[in-house]
Amino acid sequence: MKKAILIIQCKDQKGIVARVSDFLFSYHGNILEIDQHVDQEIGMFFMRVSWELDSFALKKEEIEPVFEAKVAKVFDMEFDLFFNYRKPRMAIFVSKLSHCLIDILSRYYSGQFEVEIPLVISNHPDHKKVVEAFGIPFHYLPVEKANKEDAEERQLELLNEHRVDFVVLARYMQILSGEFIRNYPNKIINIHHSFLPAFVGAKPYHAAYERGVKIIGATAHYVTEELDAGPIIEQEIARVRHHNSPADLVQIGQDVEKVVLSKAIKYHLERKVLAYRNKTVIFY
Amino acid sequence: MKKAILIIQCKDQKGIVARVSDFLFSYHGNILEIDQHVDQEIGMFFMRVSWELDSFALKKEEIEPVFEAKVAKVFDMEFDLFFNYRKPRMAIFVSKLSHCLIDILSRYYSGQFEVEIPLVISNHPDHKKVVEAFGIPFHYLPVEKANKEDAEERQLELLNEHRVDFVVLARYMQILSGEFIRNYPNKIINIHHSFLPAFVGAKPYHAAYERGVKIIGATAHYVTEELDAGPIIEQEIARVRHHNSPADLVQIGQDVEKVVLSKAIKYHLERKVLAYRNKTVIFY
Amino acid sequence: MKKAILIIQCKDQKGIVARVSDFLFSYHGNILEIDQHVDQEIGMFFMRVSWELDSFALKKEEIEPVFEAKVAKVFDMEFDLFFNYRKPRMAIFVSKLSHCLIDILSRYYSGQFEVEIPLVISNHPDHKKVVEAFGIPFHYLPVEKANKEDAEERQLELLNEHRVDFVVLARYMQILSGEFIRNYPNKIINIHHSFLPAFVGAKPYHAAYERGVKIIGATAHYVTEELDAGPIIEQEIARVRHHNSPADLVQIGQDVEKVVLSKAIKYHLERKVLAYRNKTVIFY
Amino acid sequence: MKKAILIIQCKDQKGIVARVSDFLFSYHGNILEIDQHVDQEIGMFFMRVSWELDSFALKKEEIEPVFEAKVAKVFDMEFDLFFNYRKPRMAIFVSKLSHCLIDILSRYYSGQFEVEIPLVISNHPDHKKVVEAFGIPFHYLPVEKANKEDAEERQLELLNEHRVDFVVLARYMQILSGEFIRNYPNKIINIHHSFLPAFVGAKPYHAAYERGVKIIGATAHYVTEELDAGPIIEQEIARVRHHNSPADLVQIGQDVEKVVLSKAIKYHLERKVLAYRNKTVIFY
């Protein structure tokens, strides 16, 4: 079924839901999903609404200008319009650990993700064969201290060339520069292998072991310039016990990382994530 | 904050959200929460909407007839209207096991539940002192095979007398008659100590032990005439291991029962449960 | 580190732990892990003990006969002896759904599973390319009503030929004959896509949807001749809501299936599962 | 059933399990549970073993000296000996929030906790009536900045007077002095309302809300002089969403706090917690 998805943010005001739903109804739109959220503390309104396109009286290219004129202008809204039949284009960055990469490829392979994956970029050559078996081009781009700037430039070229919409860091063990990040605001999803904000930075499983925690976790978040501090999309945990070594924690944690990252990708693909003020609204 | 809550069920049709939200807007209602669900398989529409009463242009007693005339009639809706400042009146039935009872009393005591508890009814005298310490009258009504009909009649009298809105069976170990149940359709909440539909009936923890399951559970549901088969409101689970005896399972399970029953009560109190066709929509 | 693992079952008696640990100590064995369980209801004793081989005074091939003579005979024990440097050989059976298959291959690829996978057998040709990318031979053996007996015979030949120790049914959609199963007692691991004993048989997600459950699950168990009734190794669950369609349940459930099956395989590989009377003791 | 429980810590050496189990066997002890753990990183050995006393050839008061002479001395062990029929004596400290307090009282009331509760101490008079309904004396001891030292002195007198073995801080909102804490090393259990080490200190739910986490938690730990930094006994979590206000988080978190604190108490009561180097081994 062809559908349109509208994402809205604006100052909270009376009558927004009425006006938006009336707009859709007036063009014979059949609402499929409607979710709204008001952040009472800061007085902001968030909405996601999807509707069937087949019976809709506006043409695809008319929706945006008409909505702008008739609704968005009135409430001073920011909005984004998506169509479910145009699949987002996602790039995967990966280093040596393969578990998140293969989990994503497996979901792509089985059709669980409505996504195009035009390329995988890695700073190690290891996973070329496996990636290509899923029919996806693999780009090996070594990153050293000396060539980091050049490497990022080449990465950005590739992303542009392949018209990539968003990037997934599937345990990519390089810190991206602020410049790189500013190209993809709220469009780079990272998986951090701890229950943020606990254990920011390197070796979180070892830090968790040292502290003697009984639960470990993983966090998927949008990348911002401050390390491991961007808006959290999803988190999950697993229990550990005194007999689990740091190596066990790494292994137990990998199962959590896979699930968390894939959920975050899914929410992002389905346009269910609204980021604001370093937080996310997730309409699942 | 004084608010109104409207619960709606009807055949799915275009324009419902628009008409409802327009109705509220036209009387200056500020929508606080709006949730809707369409069951695509059976073509049914469900909605819950709450709004501030202070600025609303209709008087409390006008809302129902005006909504009926202007909206409900058009779409052939069933609807219920609630006001958050009128606390529901809940009766608790209990037998010998006290964990669910005290958990509910504890939430009432701390103000977590917006509820009146005019009475506790038990077929055992054991918990009189504890119940009364929380300021709630305790009625000891023994139930034997011979006097069951009379006992239920007396129970119903008490419920009427105290204008009880709904009943919670907090591990009440008597099966209610169909006649009793028909007085409170979708208004009797039971906690069953298994992960339904597994282990219907008596001694579910022992059955779980025999089967060697690795997870046990509990289920809160509305009581219907078929035993343990009513609409499920909430479920939760706990892990068990080979060294856990049936007695351990009973104890581990009690923690799950408490949480599940209290969540179900909370959803019911906040008018977040819509029951239909032996299922529930829960707008949490 | 080279280590030996001893698995013991016998009638419960005094002095077993003392005798076994004394046996290991007398030959300078350094115990790494020791776990025991007594099933009080049936008076059975279970034990798993592992120790370092390097410093052990008995040669690898002497351990079994000496233990038999000095300990096992005294207590009338059944026991199994394993060495961690001899990797078990596992066959995977799969049909059309690839999520469990690829999850297992991913763990094999990253070295998480200490296992040899000499072959994958499928009644569909679909996943040949992906399986071979992981360096594993893929055998396409169509199974039709008419040729089922022949197909099973061919499967058994292949398992023998490749000296397979145990079989994993990674969403293999054919029911194995009793004859086949008797060749691998407690050595065929199946993943059933429900929280057993709820929803035995076909289409459990649809049955779960019909019942309106709030939690779905998956169960890994050893295959016995009664369908979905063998000893449970592991179970896990995921929450679902009213807006989840049967198709959503299938997708949400797949994540649970993957995790549950992989945990069961891991316990089996590490010799942590003791099956008896249609139950399991799991020393994790 | 009368049983003895032995808790052991020492440097890891060969033959410990053999010697301990042989000791018990030589006096006709029937081992009920045996658990051991080796911390490979620091070379420490931990053990918990319980056995039936009825058939045991040593008298209750002989066990300690004989074990010391025959086993402990050999391995330079620290050990503790407990008897399950001597119930530990627990004091509860509480402030205004009642949920943990009543949860503990409920478990005591139903017999789930094998414990004596000689007193509850509070810096507020609020819960006197409820506590006394469970048959437990309630001591109201106001704590102000000016009288803090005196108040702690009075608390310690009461604990001594009532021969209290350990103290539970059931949301007690005062920081104990180092002097107080040194009287009860690893014998004061606190519940902190965050998933430590995230959100140490005051108002963790508000901090969690600000950070936009998707999961909140609670941590039970032994109190040490560094705030919220003692050995962790148990942790648990609950999911939260964007629409949950800080007040919602407080309420959702209370359910987690209750469960976590009660599990920690239970492990402590059953002598299943071994604390060392700011961590715990939990033999559950």
Q: Are strands B215-222 and B31-39 parallel, antiparallel or unpaired?
A: unpaired
Of the partner residues C106, C132, C134, the one whose CB lies closest to the CB of residue A103: C106
Domain borders along chain B are 3-83, 89-282
Q: Is B196 exposed, middle or buried (0-12, 13-18, 19+ CB in 10 A)?
A: buried
Q: How far apart are CA A45 and CA A75, in angstroms?
A: 10
Local confidence band at A1 (pLDDT 50, 70, 90 cut-offs): confident
**D201 pLDDT higher than 90:** no
| List C35, C39, C126, C228, catalytic entry | C228
| List A39, A228, A248, A255, catalytic entry | A228
Q: Do D14 and C28 touch (CB under 8 A)?
A: yes
Q: Do C31 and D22 touch (CB under 8 A)?
A: no
Of the partner residues B18, B32, B35, the one whose CB lies closest to the CB of residue A22: B18
- Position with higher pLDDT, A219 vs D40: A219
Catalytic site includes residue A228: yes
Local confidence band at A201 (pLDDT 50, 70, 90 cut-offs): confident
* Digit-coded pLDDT (tens) for A126-157: 999 999 999 999 999 999 989 999 999 999 99
SS3 of residue C49 by DSSP:
strand
Q: Kindly state the average pLDDT of the residues C115-121.
A: 98
* Digit-coded pLDDT (tens) for A4-51: 999 999 999 999 999 999 999 999 999 999 999 999 899 999 999 999
Residue (of C248, C241, C267, C62) closest to C168 by Cα position: C267
Q: Dihedral (C-alpha) D142, D143, D148, D152: value to the nearest 10 degrees?
A: 60
* Digit-coded pLDDT (tens) for D85-122: 999 999 999 999 999 999 999 999 999 999 999 999 99
SS3 of residue D29 by DSSP:
coil
Of the partner residues D102, D132, D254, the one whose CB lies closest to the CB of residue B102: D102
Local confidence band at C52 (pLDDT 50, 70, 90 cut-offs): very high
* Digit-coded pLDDT (tens) for B117-145: 999 999 999 999 999 999 999 999 999 98
Q: How far apart are CA A193 and CA B46, in angstroms?
A: 40
What percent of chain D clears pLDDT 90, i.e. is strictly above it? 96
Nearest residue on chain A to C102, alpha-carbon basis: A106
* Digit-coded pLDDT (tens) for B66-77: 999 999 999 999
Amino acid B266: pLDDT: 98
Residue B188's contacts (CB-CB under 8 Å, 6 or more residues apart) are: B166, B167, B168, B169, B176, B181, B222, B223
Query: Is C189 within 8 Å of C168 (Cβ atoms)?
Result: yes
**D254 pLDDT higher than 90:** yes
**C201 pLDDT higher than 90:** no
Amino acid B27: pLDDT: 97
Residue (of D262, C235, A8) closest to B251 by Cα position: D262
* Digit-coded pLDDT (tens) for A104-125: 999 999 999 999 999 999 999 9
**C284 pLDDT higher than 90:** no
Specify the residue for token string 């004989």.
Answer: D66
**D284 pLDDT higher than 90:** no
Q: Look up residue C135 and give its DSSP letter.
A: T
Amino acid type, D159: L
Q: How far apart are CA C78 and CA B232, in angstroms?
A: 46
Local confidence band at D72 (pLDDT 50, 70, 90 cut-offs): very high
Nearest residue on chain A to B22, alpha-carbon basis: A18
Best to test chain A binding among D9, D47, D214 (most A CBs inside 10 Å): D214
Amino acid C255: pLDDT: 95
Of the partner residues D106, D130, D255, the one whose CB lies closest to the CB of residue B133: D130
Q: Is B61 exposed, middle or buried (0-12, 13-18, 19+ CB in 10 A)?
A: exposed
- Residues on chain A touching B34 (C-beta within 8 angstroms): 17, 34, 36
Q: Across all residues in chain C, what is the average pLDDT?
A: 96
Distance from CA of A134 to the nearest CA of C (A): 7
Q: Kindly state the average pLDDT of the residues C201-217.
A: 95
SS3 content of chain C, % helix, strand, coil (to 5): 35, 30, 40
DSSP element (H, E) containing A36: strand A31-39
Amino acid D250: pLDDT: 97
Q: Kindly list the catalytic residues of B.
A: 228
**A216 pLDDT higher than 90:** yes
Query: Is A246 within 8 Å of A206 (Cβ atoms)?
Result: yes
Of the partner residues A97, A106, A129, the one whose CB lies closest to the CB of residue C99: A106
- Residues on chain C touching D30 (C-beta within 8 angstroms): 14
Amino acid C240: pLDDT: 97
Q: How far apart are CA C267 and CA C260, in angstroms?
A: 11
Query: Is C136 within 8 Å of C105 (Cβ atoms)?
Result: yes
Segment among C64-73, C164-173, D142-151 with least mean pLDDT: D142-151
Distance from CA of D235 to the nearest CA of C (A): 19
What percent of chain C clears pLDDT 90, i.e. is strictly above it? 96
Q: Look up residue A53 and give its DSSP letter.
A: S
Amino acid D130: pLDDT: 97
Nearest residue on chain C to A97, alpha-carbon basis: C110
Amino acid D257: pLDDT: 98
Local confidence band at D16 (pLDDT 50, 70, 90 cut-offs): very high
DSSP element (H, E) containing C239: strand C232-239
Q: How far apart are CA C113 and CA C88, in angstroms?
A: 10
What is the side-by-side order of every strand in the sheet holding B138-140? B138-140, B116-122, B89-94, B166-169, B188-192, B215-222, B232-239
Per-residue pLDDT of chain B (284 residues; tens, 9 = 90+): 899 999 999 999 999 999 999 999 999 999 999 999 999 899 999 999 999 999 899 999 999 999 999 999 999 999 999 999 999 999 999 999 999 999 999 999 999 999 999 999 999 999 999 999 999 999 999 999 899 999 999 999 999 999 999 999 999 999 999 999 999 999 999 999 999 999 998 899 999 999 999 999 999 999 999 999 999 999 999 999 999 999 999 999 999 999 999 999 999 999 999 999 999 999 98
Q: Do C109 and A130 touch (CB under 8 A)?
A: yes
Q: Across all residues in chain D, what is the average pLDDT?
A: 96
* CATH assignment, A3-83: 3.30.70.260
**D278 pLDDT higher than 90:** yes
What percent of chain C clears pLDDT 70, i.e. is strictly above it? 100
Q: Are strands C273-276 and C279-282 parallel, antiparallel or unpaired?
A: antiparallel
Local confidence band at C138 (pLDDT 50, 70, 90 cut-offs): very high
Amino acid B201: pLDDT: 85
DSSP element (H, E) containing D35: strand D31-39
Q: Do D212 and A279 touch (CB under 8 A)?
A: yes
* Digit-coded pLDDT (tens) for D203-233: 999 999 999 999 999 999 999 999 999 999 9
- Residues on chain A touching C254 (C-beta within 8 angstroms): 112
Residue A59's contacts (CB-CB under 8 Å, 6 or more residues apart) are: none
ipTM associated with this complex: 0.95
Best to test chain C binding among B209, B214, B233, B280 (most C CBs inside 10 Å): B214
Nearest residue on chain C to A255, alpha-carbon basis: C259
Query: Is D49 within 8 Å of D34 (Cβ atoms)?
Result: yes
Q: Do D236 and A245 touch (CB under 8 A)?
A: no
Query: Is D91 within 8 Å of D266 (Cβ atoms)?
Result: no
Q: Kindly state the average pLDDT of the residues C66-90.
A: 97
Instruction: Provide Rg for chain C, Cα atoms.
Output: 21
- CATH 3.40.50.170, domain A89-282, yes or no: yes
Q: How far apart are CA D17 and CA C36, in angstroms?
A: 13
- Residues on chain D touching A279 (C-beta within 8 angstroms): 212, 242
Question: Alpha carbon of B206 to those of B94, B144, C39, C277: distances in Å?
Answer: 21, 25, 15, 16
